[in-house]
Amino acid sequence: MITLYSFGPHFGLPDPSPFVTKAEVLLKMSGLAYRTDTTGFSKAPKGKLPYIDDDGGKVADSTFIRRHLETKYGFDFDRGLSAEQKAIAWAFEKMAEDNLYWVTVDARWNRDDNFNNGPRAFFKSAPAPIRPLIVAMVRRQVRKSLHAHGIGRHTADEIAALGCHSIDAIATYLGDKPFFMGAEPKGVDATLFAFVAATLCPVFTTPVRDHAERHANLRRYVGRMTARYYSDYTDIAGCPAAT
């Protein structure tokens, strides 16, 4: 049985990490049996979640988890796509993971109101006397990561503009299609569902969320993916589950 190491549900999302949600949706798409475990972060091979344990072998990183499911089990998440569609799917995924993701990190960790409504809860189990120090240290590390990525060097307005541009690109390409590449979900939908839901999450007040909410097709898309893969949720990110 495969074990997916995750953070566990937070903020009304299946997982606060869109990368974990992506990996979980890929597992659901594959139909393989899996369980989740929220105690693995300290042992993460690359210091990040998600990773999986498959029969004693560890695979870290959502993209390499996908590759593992493809190579070991022969599952083709791109089945039926042309080479051009595969290229488009890859480019959108990496836009979400390597750019839109950091817009979300900035919104959640760098804005005090959002931090207090969200990630502060991750520190509940830290001993009270040193909790403020740990919170400050981790937030400092996150700011360093944002700076190293480059996005942290922009103004709030510039960061929002980048996020809105990515959201517009996703909404435009999705159009009226049920799923990103057409009538049936493909691997790219695991990623885009996870990152769009993270953007729409009502726990966080952000200009990018306001912008995304104006794209009715994105809200319906999140609802459609929820109905398909998270039937135990009535809604995710304020988008009612509906086919």
Ligand X SMILES: N[C@@H](CCC(=O)N[C@@H](CS)C(=O)NCC(=O)O)C(=O)O
Q: Rounded to an integer, what distance in angstroms lies between the CA atom of residue 121 and that of residue 80?
A: 43
Q: Which of 38, 63, 85, 99 binds ligand X (CB under 6 A)?
A: 63
- CB proximity list for 157: less than 8 A, separation 6 or greater: none
Distance CA(102)–CA(112), nearest Å, equals: 16
Amino acid at residue number 121: A
Angstrom CA distances, 212 to 6, 31, 172, 176, 198, stand at: 26, 31, 12, 16, 11
Q: What is the number of alpha carbons within 13 Å of residue 138 lying toward its C-beta?
A: 15
62 is an interface residue for ligand X by CB under 6 A: yes
What minimum distance in Å lies between the beta carbon of 216 and ligand X?
27
Q: Two tokens at 199?
A: 């953007």
Task: Rule CB under 6 A: choose which of 17, 21, 36, 206 binds ligand X.
Answer: 17
40 in helix, strand or coil? Answer: coil
Nearest alpha-carbon partner for 26 in 83, 55, 64: 64
Residue type, 205: T
- Minimal distance, residue 176 CB to ligand X, in Å: 29
* Chosen residue from 5, 11, 13, 19 binding ligand X by CB under 6 A: 19
Q: Work out whether 36 is an interface residue with ligand X (CB under 6 A).
A: no
Instruction: Check residue 109 for interaction with ligand X (CB under 6 A).
Output: no
Closest CA to 125 of 50, 41, 205, 43: 41
Could you tell me the smallest distance in angstroms from the CB atom of residue 27 to ligand X?
Answer: 13
Select the span of 47-55, 109-117, 151-159, 228-236 touching ligand X (CB under 6 A): 47-55
From 41-49, 85-93, 162-170, 221-229, span contacting ligand X (CB under 6 A):
41-49
Question: Binding to ligand X by residue 47, rule CB under 6 A?
Answer: yes
Q: Pick from 167, 187, 189, 165: which is nearest to 178 by CA?
A: 189
In the complex, minimum distance from the CB of residue 18 to ligand X, in angstroms, rounded to a whole number: 6
Nearer to ligand X, 60 or 161 (CB): 60
For ligand X, which is the closer residue by CB, 47 or 150?
A: 47
The yes or no reply on residue 49 touching ligand X (CB under 6 A) is yes
Binding range to ligand X, per CB under 6 A, among 46-54, 83-91, 153-161, 209-217 = 46-54
Residue 150's closest CA among 139, 162, 135, 140?
Answer: 162
Task: Kindly report the backbone phi and psi dihedral angles of residue 82, in degrees, each rounded to the nearest multiple of 5, phi listed first.
Answer: -75, 165
Q: Considering the rule CB under 6 A, would residue 61 count as an interface residue with ligand X?
A: yes
Only segment of 56-64, 154-162, 179-187, 233-241 that touches ligand X (CB under 6 A):
56-64
121 vs 242, beta carbon nearer ligand X: 121
List residues binding ligand X (CB under 6 A).
17, 19, 47-50, 61-63
